[in-house]
Structure 1
Amino acid sequence: MTNLFEQNRNYVLGDPELEIIGDRDKLAQWRHKGMGPAFYRLGRKIIYRGADLNSWAEANRVEPVAGGQN
């Protein structure tokens, strides 16, 4: 598994690295719907762990099918 995010780092809203999965609004929509990567809510602060982001990204990985779709 390739890590897109630093495993031992915490990311907060506004960190440019989070833009790889979605903007602030998209992340807010996912949190509201119970979707997207795991996160911590500490008061009004939202924190994503790099390990959780990598796990979520790996779970959403798509393997192309040889020869394409018919």
Structure 2
Amino acid sequence: MTTEVTLRVAMTCGGCSGAVERIIKKMEGVEDYSVSLETQKVVVKGNLDPQAVLEAISKTGKKTEFWQ
């Protein structure tokens, strides 16, 4: 089952977005993702648990929340 998880992540530079991308690439079940520094939006698609994605990206130290 494919799930789409959309998050708002407080990223201020290319290093921040790179850190988020590295975390996503290590996750199992990810089929596709996009990280937008401009809109602070991260979309991850795949066979995933939304809460697990939120927790993994939060470990970068960036404020992370579900997109409203």
Higher strand share: 2
- Whether the TM-score (by the shorter chain) exceeds 0.5 is no
Say which structure, 1 or 2, has more relative contact order (CA 8 Å, 6+ apart).
Answer: 2
Question: Structure 2 length normalisation: TM-score?
Answer: 0.29
Please report the TM-score for the alignment, with normalisation by the length of structure 1.
0.29
